[in-house]
Amino acid sequence: MKKILMLILALCLVMGVVFAGGGSQGGAAKSDKIVIAACMQGNQSGFVRYMVSGMYEYHKANASDVELKVVYADDDPAKQQSQVEQFVSEGVSAIILNPVDKVQSAAAVDFAVQNKVPVITINTISDSKNVTAHVGSDDVEAGRLQLERLLKAAKDKGISNPRVAYINAVIGHSAQVLREQAYKEVLAKHPEAKLVVQNTADWSGEKALQLTENWIQSYQKGSDPGIDLIATQADCILVGSITAVENSGNAGKILLGGMDCDMPVMEKIKAGVVDNSIWQDGLGQGEWSLRLAIDAARGKSISDYIIPYEVCTKENVDGYIKQAEARNALSAKYF
């Protein structure tokens, strides 16, 4: 009986060693297969879909041996935090993170990296110092390019003291923070321009419609709309301002600028209703985020990959429309 008890004890000790040695990052078992998790802010934005399409396309063509999981946080930072924690517990090889909020995302990044899961942020940034690498474009540059273009267009129309309005995206989102920072820097360099009003529409064209209608009703005097230009931080916001401006009879009087070069906006650029939008390569950002995530999972050293913004105006819009048609066709394969 004593020998049997000693044998059982020995077996328990062996099994304990086996289970203790089988754990991995986050406490989950991890196989040799590379698993990349992409935590995106939400899928209501066409631009997020472009980024994910870029990931899917690169994955299909170049990394079919890698498992790619994509989830959406519905613009909820708490939900995104939970998603990151879940992926870490599953022992994924790397995480691509499109932060909902630059401040609140830091805890999620820190948690993943502390558990030896590299994090590549895409498009939007996190305040965490532990981000492994970032793929995207400089949002300060986007705001600067857009507002400087609008001020130049106003000057070309003979408006010496332009009255400015701008519409923010979701407050706290890194694109919102950095693009508004650029607006303020540009306005500081142009004392002849006056900021009349600003507010947020989140990512909503409907909210932007209501804001712009209210602004026009408040500031318009006779045929003078009271505002010379409106800068918006995304084309999904701009569509609401376009509707309000057209409905009020101010098309061509109020200069409009957007970002992302969505097809409906570029058609309005051709028609002269919108002055500009800012081209951002979403497909390229998606591809490069997955490339770097796979390299990081394989233990390779990686660094940031930044893609410049470009200004789309009536003079060059046809070329961007062709690029957008190709981009939309690719996105339609996955969404």
Candidate from 26-40, 129-143, 207-221, 291-305 with smallest mean pLDDT: 26-40
pLDDT digit string, tens, across residues 171-209: 988 899 999 999 999 999 999 999 999 999 998 999 999
What is the helix (H) or strand (E) element at residue 157, kind and residue range? none
Two tokens, residue 33: 């297969």
Average pLDDT, integer, range 112-125: 97
Residues 26 and 88 sit within 8 Å (Cβ to Cβ): yes
Instruction: Say what the pLDDT of residue 257 is.
Output: 98
Give dist(CA 285, CA 307) in Å, integer. Answer: 8
Please report which confidence band the pLDDT of residue 25 belongs to, taking 50, 70 and 90 as the band edges: very low
Please report which confidence band the pLDDT of residue 31 belongs to, taking 50, 70 and 90 as the band edges: low
pTM comes to 0.79
CB atoms within 10 A of CB 9: 10
**Residue 20 pLDDT > 50, yes or no?**
no
Q: Which domains does the chain have, with CATH numbers?
A: 29-136+283-303 (3.40.50.2300), 139-279 (3.40.50.2300)
Beta strands in 34-109 (DSSP E): 35-40, 67-72, 94-97
CB within 8 A of 97, min separation 6: which ones? 38, 39, 80, 84, 105, 108, 109, 119, 120, 121, 122, 126
CB atoms within 10 A of CB 72: 19
Instruction: Say what the pLDDT of residue 310 is.
Output: 97
